[in-house]
Structure 1
Amino acid sequence: MSDPRALLKPAARVSGQKMDVWTIINEGAAASPKQPIVNMGQGFFGYNPPQFILNAAKAALDKVDCNQYSPTKGRPRLREAIADSYSPLWGRKLNPETEVTITTGANEGMLSAFMAFIEEGDEVIVFEPFFDQYISNIQMPGGKIVYVPLHPPKNGATENTSSSEWAIDFNELSRAFTSKTKMIVLNTPHNPIGKVFSKDELLKIGELCVKNNVIILSDEVYDRLFYVPFTRIATLSQEIERLTITVGSAGKNFYATGWRVGWLIGPPHLLTYVSAAHTRICYSSVSPLQEAAAIGFEEADTNGFWEAAVKEMKEKLNRFNEIWAELDLPFSDPEGGYFVLVNMSKVHLPCDYPFPDHVKNRPRDFKLSWFLIQEVGVAAIPPTEFYTDENAHIGEDWLRFAVCKEDEVLDRAKERLRDLKRYIKDS
């Protein structure tokens, strides 16, 4: 008799996927002979939030109401704190009741936006490379993704460049809009590139969306870490703001990626439906950490937190990136966030290296990443995970390193990366 459990067929959205990059890198790191691994892969912080934020989280646990359900749209104190913090950046007073919704991390906020507006056959434009969660979140409600690549600097394999040089071909972007286009996803500062989209680029994107009546989902979770002028697309015009939902993250803002507290800012005619979807997905978000995030916003300016965060992260980037001149490997200098892309085309992998099956059939950057883990003891992320197969060639010579770590970890990584010298040859 056949086992009836064999008849339980999983959904196609999960059954046919390749092993994801996080599993490959984390399992490879755990099994590497170079222990302990210096993990510069996943973008979690290697240190705690500042003490005033930790104190707020601890104090929140002593409040009865902070241990119970919060309103589905978020605790009023947090919505008010976000409205107060962002109103000067918007140039007008945001309404915390109708223009701010709290979500269970930025990712759930984006899923709620897709669930609110995307139906079977609707098209969503996504720039490559992309944050990998976008893809499944769009596909769940039946959306079709239309990809538009960011083109890398022409000289990125031979000399240092700026992340601003990863360019949009606006003819390609314009052709991507069709009568079925419902939404476009924007990410600035960008993960993994570190690009801060210029005001001119954002205006062109916004004008295309106004012309085609397309919703803009602007993922701005790194919005407090920018090293060049940063423009928020929702602030460019009333017509663009009418179409824009802006995504934020307490985890990124306050060095607390495990808190899973995010938010959406947008006009009521959009947020009403996104909030309805959010209610059905998770009802409400974690109460004590909402309270702590609210206090974080209330006290950030008093503590000089935003300026200190930018200074500290830029120093970490500069500290870590010193190694690339020593190794003669070019990198793309990020304008925002805490990731740096390094071009590894000069690194020659041994032709007979024993890559495992789940790596040897993937693009070159997966092999580079595996090799660094096994032979050097440093974990980095292969960016082709954030590309379609068609455009994977764009990213296959790069690796992404996260610098949001203690300085001694950055120094240890630099020391280990010197072992790459014997594998580096001029092409």
Structure 2
Amino acid sequence: MVTDPFKPAKRVAGQRQDVCSATSAPDFVLDAARDALSRVECNQYSPTKGRPRLKKALADAYNPFWSYPLDPDKNVTITTGANEGMLSAFMGFVEPGDEVIVFEPFFDQYISNIEMPGGKIVYVPLHPPKDGATKTTSAGDWKLDIKELEAAITDKTRMLVLNSPHNPIGKVFTKEELQAIGDLCVKHNIIILSDEVYDRLYYVPFTRISNLSPEIAKLTITVGSGGKNFYCTGWRVGWLIGPENLIKYVSAAHTRICFSSVSPLQEATAVAFEQADAHDFWNQSKKEMQGKVKRFNQIWDELGLPYSDPEGGYFVLANLANVKLPEDYEFPPHVASRPRDFKLSWFLIKELGIAAIPPTEFFTEKNAHLVEDWLRFAVCKNDDVLDEAKERLRGLKQYIH
């Protein structure tokens, strides 16, 4: 049974929900999984770096968008989801005392993954648009101060984590922004771990940082996700793509962490990539998800509440600074002690039956104030669920001042 995150009984404020809970994988992908499960060779251990068919399918799929020819055996390794892939990258390169730069807001799994091998996290914030509380803006208006980034670099900086399209903002970094980041990494010999799990869901021009120059490409490991691409996050099929001299170390770490990844679902993901173009899946997926974003955002326009219009992915940040919570409303202690977005999230769950993520969860305490009036909503739902959510959100009218 699919969980409906808009029903209050199913969610707790602050609990992560990054799965696409209502949008399902297409039939050609599910059929590939059923077929793989019926084949003896697909139910045995896969090679530690991944099934040859999937590595080839990925090389074939990404070669048209890559700056150098991808060799399936040298440039690609399959991991148990993108998260384990990133852990393998940190385990492969980060030693105790090494510093890793992470932009705020951040996907929460980055933090523990960096800390496990003894890394120290250095945070650099993305700044929200100054007028985000008064008018609708673009996710691209969340800006990185390149001088702040450069000031955060030390002789101990080993890696930088980049996420584009970005979760939770929905920002797609521009070519100019990526060039500035990449140039700094080349200057200081910093490995770039580019989290591109939403690389098929972008609504503005999308640039891969690895494509900007040979010098940047030599330092870049790109993270991908079959679960995100095909709406089957429970499959836990991810991958890392990069130059051989970097991939061999993350492959070694992956072997020690989990040896190999789920064989039949690797095979099914290979078939999914092989058949995606014939089904026009990428274009249809992008069109459908952008339609859901627009469909859901109608409620904010109706209520007169500003939001950050995403450039990619399936998350929307809405600004609820004009929503005035009742002064005598009782929050449980674990909510009352948190920033305002936690109170907003709790209030929406209890009073309207709407679940949203408080984005201060993606920030350090120092910079949490930047987003305490925002909430993150996932629009990867069936249209009837989105319409019901909009109807429930109309209950905010009495609290808007």
Structure 2 residue aligned with 1:105: 81
Q: Which amino acid aligns with 1:239?
A: E
1:77 counterpart (43, 46, 53): 53
> Which residue of structure 2 aligns with residue 178 of structure 1?
154
Q: How far did residue 268 of structure 1 move?
A: 0.7
Following TM superposition, the consecutive aligned residue runs of length 4 or more in structure 1 with deviations greater than 3 angstroms are 25-32, 39-43
How big is the alpha-carbon RMSD for the aligned residues of Structure 1 and Structure 2?
A: 1.7
C-alpha distance in 1 between matches for 2:10 and 2:379? 20
String of CA shifts for 1:120-144, please: whole Å, max 9, x gaps.
Answer: 1000000000000000000011100
Aligned to 1:318: 294
Task: Show the counterpart of 2:209.
Answer: 233
| Kept after mapping to 2: 8 A contact 1:194/1:334 | yes
My pick for the range that moved more, 354-363 or 155-164, is 354-363
Work out whether 1:374 is the aligned partner of 2:333: no
Corresponding residue for residue 45 of structure 1: 21
Deviation at 1:346, TM superposition (A): 0.6
- The answer as to 2:253 corresponding to 1:293 is no
Change (3 A) 1:75 1:41: closer
Any idea what the Cα deviations from partners look like across 1:193-213, whole Å, max 9, x if unmatched? 000000000000000000000
Give 1:265-276 correspondences, 5 Å limit.
265-276=241-252
Question: What amino acid is the match of 1:324?
Answer: W
Q: Which amino acid aligns with 1:62?
A: S
2:303 corresponds to: 327
1:258 is paired with a residue whose SS is helix
User: For the Cα contact (< 8 Å) 1:79–1:100, is it kept in 2?
Assistant: yes
Q: How do 1:384-403 and structure 2 match up within 5 A?
A: 384-403=360-379
Q: Shift in Å at residue 65 of structure 1?
A: 1.2
Mapped to 1, the partners of 2:270 and 2:68 lie a distance apart of 20
Helix, strand or coil at the partner of 2:392: helix
Match of 1:5 in 2: none
Shift of 1:93: 2.3
Stretches of structure 2 that go unaligned for 5 or more consecutive residues are: none
Cα 1:311–1:265, aligned 2, differ >3 Å: closer, same or farther? same
Task: State the SS of the aligned residue for 2:297.
Answer: helix
CA distance in 2 between counterparts of 1:31 and 1:203 reads 40
Q: 1:44 Cα deviation (Å)?
A: 2.2
Aligned to 1:196: 172
8 A Cα contact 2:6 2:353, kept in partner: no
Gaps of 5+ in 1: 1-24
- CA shift, 1:30, in A, is 3.5
Which letter does structure 2 place at the counterpart of 1:107?
Answer: N
Does the CA contact (< 8 Å) of 1:40 and 1:402 recur in 2? no
Deviation at 1:26, TM superposition (A): 10
What is aligned with 1:22?
Answer: none
1:141 to 1:299, Cα distance in 2 relative to 1, 3 A: same
Letter in 2 for 1:363: P
Q: Is the 8 A contact 1:106 1:248 kept in 2?
A: yes
Cα distance in structure 1, aligned partners of 2:390 and 2:234:
27
Match 1:166 to one of 134, 142, 151: 142
The CA deviation string for residues 362-420 of structure 1, in whole angstroms up to 9 with x for no partner, is 11001100000000000000000000000000111000000000000000000000001
Deviations 1:138-186 (A, max 9, x none): 0011100000000000100000000010001111000011000000000
The one-letter amino acid of 2:278's match is T
Match for 1:246: what amino acid? Answer: T
> Displacement, 1:83?
0.2
d(CA) in 1 for partners of 2:219, 2:206: 20
Give the percent of matched residue pairs that are identical in Structure 1 and Structure 2: 69
How many Å separate the matches in 1 of 2:17 and 2:44? 35
Superposed counterparts of 1:85-234, under 5 Å:
85-234=61-210
TM-score, normalisation: structure 1: 0.91
Mapped contact 1:40–1:380 kept (Cα < 8 A): no
Matches within 5 A, 1:347-426: 347-425=323-401
CA offset at residue 357 of structure 1? 1.2
Partner Cα distance (2:374, 2:18) in 1: 16
Aligned counterpart in structure 2 of residue 242 of structure 1, from 185, 204, 218? 218
Specify the alignment match of 1:11 in structure 2.
none
Quote the offset at 1:28 in angstroms: 6.4
1:57 has 2:33 as partner: yes
Measure the CA separation in 2 of the matches of 1:156 and 1:319. Answer: 20
Assess if the C-alpha contact under 8 Å between 1:45 and 1:257 holds in 2.
no
